[in-house]
Amino acid sequence: MKNTLTTIALALAGMCLTTVDARVYHATPHLYVQPNGDSVSVRLFGTELYIDAESEDGYTLIRDEESGYVCYAMLSADGDEYASTGIKYNGGEAPSGLNLIVKPHIRLSAESRNKIIENNEKKLGLDSPVSELRAATALPDTVYGVTLMIDFPDRKFSVSRDDVETFLNSSEKTVYGNARSIKEHFRWLSGGKLTYINYLPKEIYYAPNNFNYYSPEDATDYTVNLFLPVVTEALLAITKEKDGFDLNDITFFGAKMMAINIFYAGEEPKGWATGLWPHKGGYNFDLRRKYNISAREWHNYQIANLGKDMFMGTFVHENGHMVLGLPDYYSFESGNDDNNIEEFNLADMFWLKDEKHPALLDPYSMDELGWLTNKQDITDIKDGRTITIKQEVGNVAVYYGSGDNSNERYYFEVRDKHYKNWYGKSNQGVMIWHVNTDGDNRYAGFPELIDGRPATADDCMWNSYTGPGVFCDDSNPSAKWYDGNNSGVYIWDFSLPGTTMTFRCGNEEAKAVDIPLDLSTEDYKIHVYNDKGQFIGDYDSISDIENTQIPHGIYVLKQSGRVYKIVK
């Protein structure tokens, strides 16, 4: 029985990584083999549609068209193209005097970069409408995708088919150190609301030509058009009798198969964004010989190499686009200072620093998908009551805007790490997300769809040690909406960091002194803040406060790890 999503009016388009959906590269290591056989490590920035490469110390690199070597790059005067300096990159630090010729981190102009992106979108079938996040009612309880394993005469899989089956669909086991199977990961994220199963043919499909035919070593562009006809034949080779399923069993999005995953044997091409470089795309697979499927439809696919190891991160990320309609939340433009969430990268489906343990979704995506299992609406709470949040999937508090700002909201969630702290300490705190559903994270000059607006580049987790004492319209950072209107948010008294955290919400009815101890005999200090969360000073007694010209507001006494409120 064909599974068709007839309730979705939105069109899921494409693919890769920039103007549509993509896999992000941010200083991602890649091993390049020079023509003489030497391997050098480069760092990649961008998406499948446009990638810049840098040396380990930050100099931009390109492949010299004549020699084939990766060399240090220089930039034309108009910024529209790179040229090779002819100086080979040997790994490590740049040779002495290179900084007299070129500077680190050079980049093409936005106009030139966008032309390359547009060209690659057409090659990969991505010049179609942007994917949009599914509504909570758009997905069935179970989604069925298909995963293909394709071999070559000169390249065979090191990973067994049984391991791929476990990787995809196991309810209990995992392989190669991944956190869980793909099925269990989506079940975990959704709080049990979505089961995602990938049908896997019983046999590996063998391409008729060697790998280099489909992905030439000297390719300077994508050559996936040479390989996708093989994928078509692999899809047509599936039968109920042999495999236990056929394409009628795949979940469709309108007239398109929702998710086609393709593993090919061996390592990825040495050249970035060339040949069969891993990517997400769209293609009109001609399946009319066996199925009543229009040849005009561009079905979504993601393709990746499968070498000696298996990593779930990219698979989860790309299927987040294909199955859930997740957009990308990172910037496609270097120097987009508006997009501060890029510093933490919590908003994306996962962070490539650990491809075997993908991170949580952001709470906005979870909310739109209907996956927040414990959502506390604090919009109308003004009396200073304590809000408690556990560090668990789907546990958040949300404050919704209204009127002219009904497109904006704040989410409050307990997290324990972000990019800046990835290599070191656990950094538990309340992460405050700001969402503007009319925004767009991809380009500078637009309001952000989602960001960590209260965050700073040094710390995005708020607790009793970090961040101002109060987050409100007059604090710094401010809780005002994008247009400068007051939001009315008043959050204060953040708890110590932990897996369960609290904060107080609102200040309108905080009218009584609440100090259950005899201040006349206890040794204490009163730490005073004004109603903007700004520190005023330390005082030894309430009489000292009363005799000082301090604005009315909420003052905080901290003693023996306990927090009390004092209202003047």
Q: Strand 279-283 vs strand 374-377: parallel, antiparallel, or unpaired?
A: unpaired
Residue with tokens 């091409």: 269
Rounded to 5 degrees, φ, ψ at 442 are -75, -35
Count H helices and E strands in the chain, helices first: 9, 28
DSSP code for 457? S
Residue with tokens 């969360």: 533
Q: Is the backbone of residue 106 left (phi > 0), alpha (psi -120 to 50) or beta?
A: beta
Compute, in degrees rounded to 10, the torsion defined by CA atoms 230, 287, 199, 241: -100
Tokens standing for residue 211: 């790998």
The residues pairing with 51 across neighbouring beta strands, listed in sequence order, are 46
Tokens standing for residue 37: 């056989």
Q: What are the strands of the beta sheet with 490-492, ordered from one edge? A: 385-390, 500-505, 490-492, 470-472
What angle, rounded to 10 degrees, do the helices at 161-169 and 182-189 form? Answer: 10
Q: Of 262, 292, 294, 290, whose CA–CA distance to 278 is shortest? A: 262
Tokens standing for residue 22: 């993509």
- SS3 assignment for 243-272: HCCCHHHCEEECCEECCEEEEEECCCCCCC
Residue-wise pLDDT tens digits, 210-238:
999 999 988 888 999 999 999 999 999 99
Q: Of 374, 412, 376, 407, whose CA–CA distance to 501 is shortest? A: 412
Tokens standing for residue 324: 């859930």
Please classify residue 1 by burial: count the beta carbons closer than 10 Å to its beta carbon, then call 0-12 exposed, 13-18 middle and 19+ buried: exposed
Q: Which residues contact 41 (CB under 8 A, 6 or more apart)?
A: 29, 30, 31, 32, 56, 91
With contact defined as beta carbons under 8 Å apart, do 180 and 165 qualify?
no
CA 509, chain centre distance (Å): 40
Tokens standing for residue 158: 């090191």
Please list the helix, strand and coil fractions of the chain in percent, rounded to the nearest 5, in that order. 15, 25, 55
Q: Of 272, 419, 255, 437, whose CA–CA distance to 348 is shortest? A: 419
- The pTM (predicted TM-score) of the whole model is 0.78
The Cα 158–Cα 305 span in angstroms is 11
Cα 450–279–121 angle (5° rounding)?
80
Q: Strand 526-529 vs strand 535-539: parallel, antiparallel, or unpaired?
A: antiparallel
Tokens standing for residue 539: 């005082």
For the chain, the straight-line distance linking the first and the last C-alpha, in angstroms and rounded, comes to 69
At 555, the amino acid letter reads Y
DSSP code for 231? H
The Cα 497–Cα 430 span in angstroms is 8
The Cα 429–Cα 404 span in angstroms is 31
The residues pairing with 52 across neighbouring beta strands, listed in sequence order, are 45
The Cα 335–Cα 515 span in angstroms is 49
With contact defined as beta carbons under 8 Å apart, do 166 and 173 qualify?
yes
Q: Of 495, 70, 48, 496, whose CA–CA distance to 268 is shortest? A: 48
Please classify residue 275 by burial: count the beta carbons closer than 10 Å to its beta carbon, then call 0-12 exposed, 13-18 middle and 19+ buried: buried
Tokens standing for residue 363: 């709470």
The Cα 535–Cα 544 span in angstroms is 16
Please classify residue 296 by burial: count the beta carbons closer than 10 Å to its beta carbon, then call 0-12 exposed, 13-18 middle and 19+ buried: exposed
**Cα atoms in the 13 Å half-sphere on the side-chain side of 50:** 22
Q: Of 442, 216, 265, whose CA–CA distance to 342 is shortest? A: 442
Cα 416–417–419 angle (5° rounding)?
165
- Residue ranges for the chain with pLDDT beneath 70: 1-23, 127-137, 330-354, 417-427, 442-444, 453-459, 467, 508-568
